[in-house]
Structure 1
Amino acid sequence: MLQLTNVSTYYDNIAALQGISFAVEEGEIATLIGANGAGKTTTLKTICGLLRPRSGRVLFRGQDITGARADTVVRAGIALVPEGRRVFPQMTVWENLVLGATVRRDRSTVAEDLERVYAQFPVLAERRRQLAGTLSGGEQQMLAIGRALMARPELLLLDEPSMGLAPLVVEQIFGIIAEINRQGTTILLVEQNAHLALSLARHGYILETGRIVKAAPAAELLASDDVRRAYLGE
């Protein structure tokens, strides 16, 4: 579904990604893990059009989307749940969700999808008239995911969904992510909790200073002594 080939992305003259290549298969959960500053968020921003790579190609379903505008990428079928959730705090839950459907042409089914998101996240239905900034961290994460789902993505990019959340809330969020995948949405997950990410994913890629240093089935990475010492704190 998604293929990056020799992608390099820079901030001014600083190379954040240095020729990375990897693929995400349709229907799977794939994960990028690595230390802070390794280039994980830069990778997602490059895919979804928020950053333009200096070289390399990004293909989605065989279509070249390298450097395409962000709204074009969303229309193609990719949605991002950004790090830190980035909900609009002075807008209601309902307004945040409806914004997720802004680029859609099939306006007649937006209300139907809104009800589907409410069924997936009942707390959002209960708080639909509440300002997003007054929600808890876990509720804001649910809202950010729901807003992305309103774009009807085929590929969902998740950037650090567990960040700043209590363990029980993290467990709930990852249960929701697994269910979204079971319903047919392909997922590329960037996550600081490497053990949790690899437990959920089918394939894993390890980023170090802008380079992919290891790629393998997630179960194989979980079983690797080197990976466990370097990224799982064991």
Structure 2
Amino acid sequence: MENQGALSESVQQSATGVNKPSIVYLFLKRIIDIVGGVIGLLIFSPVFILIPILYMRGDNKGPVFFKQVRIGKNGKVFHIYKFRSMVVNAEQKLKQNEVLYKKYIDNNYKLEPEEDPRITNLGRFLRKTSLDELPQFINVLKGEMSLVGPRPVVQEELKEYGSKTSDFLSVSPGLTGYWQVSGRSNVGYPERVDLELHYVYNASLFFDIKILFLTVVNVVLRKGAY
């Protein structure tokens, strides 16, 4: 990971001369998204069969899939898909606990797995292995997300990007991205803003391929996954 001060300076310099991505790049990126999405669903099809079976046991009973409103390209709202790793109505239950919800907000919109009462036993395994993210291949095929891009955020998180919000929302959110391969849950705001914007200002096919490669490495090593 780059030195944070240097990265922040790089982001500021890049922001002064943002270049629109070329039509060729966007076309090739979409082709890669479609091919990658189809291959991903085919490769992990056994997981899509096994996980629903596991959901019938223990504290996992409930819907297999979880969907949540996220903010996409140009501010368009969409539902992100995941394998459910939490109890039913987890968001409502979290907001009912004012102390815990405040801690969640203050801690960069996350809680330590050990103290998060929403996560099921199966959910902890899914998160640690990043298997909970697999349904997002569906979002990629629908064109709501790309294989690579800034991670889609909930409405409350947009304030973290301040005057750079429109830049952040100028590209499609990704199943993986520069923030994820640079630490993911180990890197919170405001450092996350610099990482996400670094990608926005420097997006290229080479950068995308590099991020995809590093994603595979991080998943195998289980880096930054909560």
Taking structure 1 as the reference length, the TM-score comes to 0.26
Taking structure 2 as the reference length, the TM-score comes to 0.26
Whose helix proportion is higher, 1 or 2?
2
Whose strand proportion is higher, 1 or 2?
1
